[in-house]
Amino acid sequence: MAWKLMLASAVAMAARSVPYAVAKPAGKSFVAHASGLLPLKSTPIDPDWIVSGNPQARTAEHSRGHDEASLTAIWDCTAGEFRWYFGWDETVMILEGEVHITAEDGTERTLSTGDVAFFAGGTWASWRVDNYVRKVAFLRKPFPKPLAIAYRLRNMLRNGGNQGIAA
């Protein structure tokens, strides 16, 4: 355990000495679209995950982070019930319709227009769409545990121990 803390400290100190931006990232630095105008493409749900009905899903990628570790997409789905595996951390905001969610721990919640929810990467949830649902999804690849610890430590050192959210 001690060696992990020492390694995380060394990584954090090294990261602290590197400037925030060495060079401007390649690609776009600002992306804006009307969510209703993004072209949605069919993204079939794995047939083994479908519990009932014939849910039809579509996705439109809005933007992707320069490091390929995050993306934002618009997703919609017609009526049906299915299980869904979240390979990435995902925060969703329902834009239209509603969905009935049952998490792995048995927590049940109906999400409707304006609701926001978070699903941790590596988990399953059951989705029941009675009519239609449309969401914006903010996805982020989770860091491996040692890297996440080093990243948090670096942020604590940079922020003098303050853990607030900056705008």
pLDDT tens column, 4-14: 544 445 444 44
pLDDT in tens, 75-92: 999 999 999 999 999 999
As a whole number of angstroms, the distance between CA 72 and CA 61 comes to 6
Give strand pairing partners of 91: 118, 138
- Residues 111 and 90: beta-carbon distance below 8 Å: no
- What's the pTM? 0.73
> What average pLDDT does the structure give for the chain?
83
As a whole number of angstroms, the distance between CA 92 and CA 114 comes to 10
pLDDT in tens, 56-77: 999 999 988 888 789 999 999 9
Confidence at residue 163, expressed as pLDDT on a 0 to 100 scale:
58
Place of tokens 């949830």: 125
pLDDT tier, 166 (very low <50, low <70, confident <90, very high otherwise): low
Asked whether residue 30 carries a pLDDT value surpassing 60, the answer given is yes
Instruction: Find the mean pLDDT for residues 86-101.
Output: 97
> Could you tell me which residue, 1 or 82, shows the higher pLDDT?
82
Scored b (16 or more CB within 10 A) or e, 91-121 reads ebebbebbbbbbeeeeeeeebeeeeebebee
